[in-house]
Every structure is written in C-alpha cells, then in structure tokens.
Amino acid sequence: MSAPAHALRNDEPSSYAETRAPRVASIDSARAFVRATLLEAPREGVLAITVPAPVTPVEAPLRALRKGTTWVFAPSEGVSVAAIGVAREARASGEARFVEARAACEAMLGQVVHRVDAGALAIPVRAFVGFAFAAGTACAAPWESFGDARVTLPRWTYASDGARASLTLAIDVGRGMDERLALAELEAVYGAIETARRQPSDAATIVRADHLDAARWARSIEAIRSAIERGDARKIVAARRSVITTASDIEPLDVLTRLGETRGPTTRFMARVGSATFLGATPEHLFVQRGTRIATEALAGSIAADAERGGERLVASAKDREEHAYVVRHIVERLAPLCARVAHPDAPQVRRLSTVMHLRTPIEAELARPTHPIDVIAALHPTPAVGGTPVEHAVPWIVQHETERGWYGAPFGWIDARGDAEFVVALRCGVIQGARAWLWAGGGIVEGSDPQAEWDETALKMRPMLRALGCRENGAVR
Ligand SMILES: C=C(O[C@@H]1C=C(C(=O)O)C=C[C@H]1O)C(=O)O
C-alpha cells in the first residue's frame, strides 16, 4: 500500500481562516466587541463571541477561574486550546454512551451562532469530549465525577497557535445573559492571560509511592499468558496503577506546564471535573478528522529510549511486530465499512519519545460519506494498542481483573461546529486530587511476553508523569 500523503496534523489552512487585517489584542476592544454582540443576541441557542487575545502558554488563562470544569488539548504542533466553565454539558453512561454523546454533541454544536472579531485566531466552536475506557469503569475513586462519557461546550475557550490567539465566550441564551457577569469574567481571564506566570512552582515533595506489588503483576501476566495459550485471546493489554502521595496539595496546572517541557510528538490533555483533574501527555492519536479525511495511526510495540540499537532491535522484534500488526489490522477492519479508501505503508516506523520508542504505522482513510466523529470513535475504540485482540475477550478480561481504568486508555478530544475532530488515546497520564496522584501505564501482552520486561516497560511509560510530579526515579520513594 502507498504511504499516506500527509502526516497527522491538528490544524491546517481552511476556508474558515481569518482574512481581515490583524489588530492588536486589547481588553478595551474585547470588552467593546462583547458588549456590542450581546446587544444583537439571538433569542435561543448558543451565542459564541470570539475576540483577539495575547499569545501565552495555554494553561495561563486557567489560573483566572480556578473552580469549575476545565479542559485542555495541546498538541505539540498547531492550535492548543484551554477551556473553563460550562455553557452546555451532557453526560452519558452504559453501552449507549456513544449514541447519547453523539446526540448531545449534535444538539449543542448545531445551535451555535458564532461572531468573530477582526484579528482573532478564528477556529470553529469546539465541544470537548471524554470517555471511560469501557462502560461502567469510571465509578470508583478517583473517577466518580467523570462518568462514562462527558461532552462540554465550554463557557470560555482560549486558543493559540503560537503566533495568534483568541478568547471565546459561549452563552446558552435560553439561560439568560448576564452582561455584568460576562464582562467581569472577561476581565479576570484576560488579566490572567496578560500576567501569565511562566514558571511553575516547585514540585511537591513525594512522601509515598505505592506501586502495584511486582509479584501480583507477574501473576496477572502469567494469567494472561494462560488465557492466550488456551486460545481465549491473542493479545491483552495489562495496565497497573501507582498512587503517589505528596506533602502538600499538587497544583495540576504546574504538572501540565512541566509535561510541556519535554519536547516530542505528544499531546498534553487535561480535564478537571469537581476536585479531580485527569491529565497527561500522550503520544497516541485515535484519529484526526477533517471533513471526510481521517488520519490515524497504529502505535504499539515498545523498547527503552536508551536501549542500544533500540530502533533497529524494535523493528526486528517478531513479538513487537506481532503486537503491532494486531493494531493495524483492527484499525483497517474497523474503518473499512465507513470508508472508500484506507491506506498505510507496509512496514512500521520508529517513534522516539523521551523514555521509550514505539513502532508506528500511519494510516490514512477517506470516509465514504459524511460521518459523525463519535461514530468513528465507536468503530475504533478500543484498539488492540490499549485493549487487545479479539476485543470481545480482551476488554471483559481487563474489566474483570484490573482496578477501574476510568478515562485511562480512552478517547479524549474535541469536535467542532464544522464536524472536524481530533481525538487522542489518553495515555501517560493520571488523576490528581489534593495531595494525591493516581498514575496508569500498561503494555500489550502476547504469547512471548516476560513479566519483568513488561514491568520495566510500564515503569518507563510512567516516568514522564512521575517527573512532572517531582519524583525523580520511578519507584524511588515507597
Ligand atoms: C498502554 C499503553 O501504551 C500503549 C501500549 C504500547 C505497547 O504495548 O507497546 C505502546 C503504545 C501504546 O499504544 C500505556 O502507555 O499505558
């Protein structure tokens, strides 16, 4: 098959691009534009007002309004967004969660009237969407507030491509328009953008790190190998959880900032719901959708980043090639009914990250007809990169044997009013609540997998989060 014509990108020039002359962002002009637009507000639906804003690190505006739901989606290239508060929100649960989330998403985005001031980075209004790994796996602590699926149309969205930025206020008109409140919030968010604190505070002191008992891990890997020998499955992704306790409360925004200090093709993501914050920096895209074009990838098969001749060994490893091939096959098979064309190179490449390298196959597809991004999610998730194969055996095994995964290993991203979308697989991540952090990492288990090697691999996958929390060596504190 031929190589894809373009790599995964999170944005590109579009018919939506701003054509008017840029103007210097100022709070005075922002206030004036918001006021004038509120005067001509529609009688129902959602009114979105976008004004130019100064360029700043994407997490800066979040320091203004510290309460309420928050979302961040920040790829290593292109447009990063941070959102605070709720204009509209929906939750969905159980097996119907994809269908329900899709209906909620369509209802929210279908009713948006969008006014954009000159000079702003103009992107269509985005709803943020997150799912649990499997229905019913976000019930216990620390996941209770997240649920099986959540769709948020945020009240405030800051977007920046590094050269230009914008701030969008979305108002559910039916719930009334409080101009004074809107302007007071604008003042606060704009102020936080202008006075952005670029340096995170010192990392919290880790007082305890509870990793899964290594003997228990070995037993679960052996159990998976037995299931594979019996023919129940060919691959199951095993994950383990570590719980970190610190001397004082952890500031999630500082952890997010530190995650951004490691260069590399990762997407930082964050969702705060209630007092819990889920965040990480993942190397894996579930897919990017632009119109009827889909760009996705198989990312599976791992080796330590500092392994001697690691890239060569990874490409030559039959075990890693097998684990990887299951993911490619799954994605191609699941996209085929939706697509007129699916293409990928024959052999995987090596994706280098800070602590590990992975095998990666980019996959491109053309949808046969306009398809809602949540239908694409429902087709693809969970791939054998995070679940296993066959999926009907692997996922129940995981649900039965592991502590609840919550949103770990699950689709996380955004869908815009034009129907474009970008979703990552939430990996290399954890939940922060007060002075505690829960971290997850996993790896694909196939016939020849060794428990110790898988333990070491998951330790390397956890390391970026541990470092961002201030823990220098994985497992150094017990
Ligand atoms: C499951 C994780 O990573 C996934 C599993 C991989 C593997 O088994 O080689 C590689 C990349 C990811 O698709 C994780 O990071 O927790």
- How many C-beta atoms lie closer than 10 Å to residue 39's C-beta? 7
Does 96 map to a domain?
yes
* Positions of E strands within 53-172: 70-74, 80-84, 88-92, 112-116, 126-131, 149-153, 156-160, 165-172
Six token digits for residue 353 = 């990250």
Task: Decide which of 145, 171, 194 is a domain's last residue.
Answer: 194
Whether 158 and 222 share a structural domain: no
DSSP character for 343? E
Annotated active-site residue in 18, 59, 185, 284? 284
Interatomic CA distance for residues 258 and 181, integer angstroms: 33
Task: Decide which of 145, 174, 194 is a domain's last residue.
Answer: 194
| pLDDT of 84 | 95
| pLDDT of 42 | 85
Whether 213 and 67 share a structural domain: no
Nearest CA to ligand 1 atom 6: 300
Question: Residue 318 sits in a domain of what CATH number?
Answer: 3.60.120.10
Whether 173 and 320 share a structural domain: no
Whether 111 and 229 share a structural domain: no
Whether 32 and 177 share a structural domain: yes
> Which atom number of ligand 1 is nearest to the Cα of residue 302?
9
Whether 173 and 301 share a structural domain: no
| pLDDT of 211 | 86
For residue 112, the enclosing domain spans 27-194
**pTM as predicted:** 0.94
Annotated active-site residue in 59, 235, 297, 364? 235
Grouping H, G, I as helix, E, B as strand and the rest as coil, residue 94 is: coil
Which of 313, 315, 320, 358 best tests ligand 1's pocket when mutated (most atoms within 8 Å of CB)? 358
Does 10 map to a domain?
no
Whether 148 and 178 share a structural domain: yes
| pLDDT of 10 | 39
Whether 188 and 222 share a structural domain: no
Note if 67 is an active site residue: no
Whether 215 and 153 share a structural domain: no
Does 82 map to a domain?
yes
Interatomic CA distance for residues 153 and 148, integer angstroms: 17
| pLDDT of 197 | 64
Whether 367 and 404 share a structural domain: yes
Note if 251 is an active site residue: no
| pLDDT of 335 | 98
Closest alpha carbon to 60 in 81, 78, 79: 81
Closest alpha carbon to 237 in 401, 95, 354: 401
Secondary structure element (H or E) that encloses residue 311, with its range:
helix 310-316
Six token digits for residue 35 = 């006021």
Does 309 map to a domain?
yes
ipTM of the complex: 0.99
Residue 333's contacts (CB-CB under 8 Å, 6 or more residues apart) are none
| pLDDT of 297 | 98
Does 399 map to a domain?
yes
Q: Is 422 left (phi over 0), alpha (psi -120 to 50) or beta?
A: beta
What is the CA(427)–ligand 1 centre distance, in A? 8
Which of 242, 302, 357, 428 best tests ligand 1's pocket when mutated (most atoms within 8 Å of CB)? 302
Does 425 map to a domain?
yes
Secondary structure element (H or E) that encloses residue 205, with its range:
none
Which tens digits make up the pLDDT trace of 227-240?
A: 999 999 999 999 99
Which tens digits make up the pLDDT trace of 279-325?
A: 999 999 999 999 999 999 999 999 999 999 999 999 999 999 999 99
Angle, nearest 10°, between helix axes 318-335 and 373-380? 140
Whether 166 and 52 share a structural domain: yes
Does 475 map to a domain?
no
Interatomic CA distance for residues 68 and 45, integer angstroms: 22
Six token digits for residue 438 = 């829960």
Whether 49 and 154 share a structural domain: yes
Give 285's strand partners. Answer: 424
Task: Give every residue of the chain whose pLDDT is below 50, as ranges.
Answer: 1-22, 473-478
Does 258 map to a domain?
no
> Which atom number of ligand 1 is nearest to the Cα of residue 320?
9
Task: Decide which of 194, 216, 239 is a domain's last residue.
Answer: 194
Spell out which residues line ligand 1, taking CB within 6 angstroms. Answer: 237, 239, 284, 299-302, 323, 358, 385-386, 427-428, 441-444, 461
User: DSSP assignment of 392-432, as one string?
Assistant: HHHHHHHHHHSSP-TTTTSEEEEEETTS-EEEEE--SEEEE
> Which atom number of ligand 1 is nearest to the Cα of residue 324?
9
User: How many structural domains is the chain composed of?
Assistant: 2
